[in-house]
Amino acid sequence: MLTPSRKGEGRVAENGFNIILREVKMAFSTTTRRNLFRCMRRIINRKTVTTQADMLKFGFMFDIDGVIVRGKKLLPYVKEAFQLLTDRYGNFRVPAVFVTNAGNTLRQDKAEQLSEWLDVKVSSDQVVMSHSPLKMFPEFHDKHVLVSGQGPVVEIAQNLGFSKITTIDQLRQVFPNLDMVDHKRRRSSPREEDMRLFPPVEAVILFGEPVRWETNLQIIIDVLLTNGKPMYAPREIPYPHMPVLACNMDLLWMAEACMPRFGHGCFLTCLEHLYMKITGRELKYTGLIGKPSGITYHHADSILWHQAKSLGIRQLDTLYCIGDNPETDIYGANLYNRYITKRQEEQMLKVKVQNAAGGVAHLQDVDSDDDMEGLVHYTEDNEAGRHFARNCHSILVCTGVYCSSRDYVTYDSSQMSNHNHRDFVLDPELKQPKIVTANVHEAVKFVLQKEGLS
């Protein structure tokens, strides 16, 4: 249980309460005294809660795979970590969100899974999937999109606001001649009417790694080369190609195996190289979503603020991002910290300009780093926009992709790994965690101690 470090406050309040009791007993009847006692007790309790909320000016962003679980196996000391953050009923007393690059399930399903693993109450509002920020791309919601991934991809797309959805499997049913690798799945002849009535694809959404990579790679490239009309071979390859939105850039992720597994970043690498080899041009993304993209942290920051507000917390000064991968979790947290630092500097400059002008002055938008480019698409509500965190600290745990005893992923060696997506700058500083701990339990204990809570 979290308790204020200023323990004397409770005793002072109680002594004052006893003095008032004696005065009230002498002045009022029994019935009136009971009502007054209840009222005063509620006021004192409310003051205690307010004091607790005023002290909480931080929140957590937890990765899931490699931090909480590996595959479906709960890691040691995880439940103990979350007991420190919740009350005896399993309700969170400290703002916390779960930010994962997984994209093969719905937020509600992931929340229920987390609740079962942790024995605490996790709501869907506390879960940020790799695809969650796609809600902030309304300009694509009415377009006919081709979606790639696994799991309930149609339902996921619908929940994000997309209305015209075609899956890879649905498209290959209409155009069976496109998928020719697996001889057993070949169909003899397509239906001309189905192909003729098929509406052109207007954008491609990549949720995560598919099951049949060869099928998805072939069909996605076919759609890009034909500008969404795979029934006709183009005279010239269209370029720029149609919009492509990709979620989850993890090259590797940690499951039950002793070594990291291929992630969606591997699939994207294959797609990019095939497109370049075939066309001689670079595949361009309209948006890259999921860690380490700044838009994901921006989105999670906004969600964390709304949770803090519901707990009576007025301002979150610091975010603590706990992850197992220096290439995504740590890189993304440090990149977001750069962004909010630059944002604060720009706000201070704006105030100075306004004061110097004696009124309202207008500044151009901050020149964002290339890696933060996705933030321009994000639309935040005005209230949340005024309460973004002032600091974002990265904490690396050694229970997942990163492990001090192997060199698949490194951040401090002379031979540094580079598993980031090609569109992100290789910056060794961004991969340096602020803190390294053995596991999530040690990370949470460190934060609580640092913040003066026990």
Question: Going along 133-177, which residue ranges are E strands?
Answer: 144-148, 164-167
Chain length of the chain: 454
User: What pLDDT is stored for residue 49 in this prediction?
Assistant: 47
Interatomic CA distance for residues 381 and 379, integer angstroms: 7
User: What pLDDT is stored for residue 408 in this prediction?
Assistant: 55
Alpha-carbon distance values, 287 to 100, 206, 226, 243, 283 (Å): 18, 10, 21, 8, 12
Interatomic CA distance for residues 193 and 174, integer angstroms: 9
3-state secondary structure (DSSP) of residue 197: helix
User: What pLDDT is stored for residue 201 in this prediction?
Assistant: 98
User: What pLDDT is stored for residue 54 in this prediction?
Assistant: 64
Mean pLDDT, rounded, of the chain: 84
Stretches where the chain sits below pLDDT 70 are 1-55, 188, 358-387, 404-417, 454
User: What pLDDT is stored for residue 428 in this prediction?
Assistant: 86
Asked whether 443 and 402 are in contact (CB, 8 A), the reply is: no
Interatomic CA distance for residues 441 and 76, integer angstroms: 9
User: What pLDDT is stored for residue 1 in this prediction?
Assistant: 45
User: What pLDDT is stored for residue 12 in this prediction?
Assistant: 42
The pair phi, psi for residue 8, each rounded to 5°, is -70, -20
Interatomic CA distance for residues 316 and 160, integer angstroms: 27
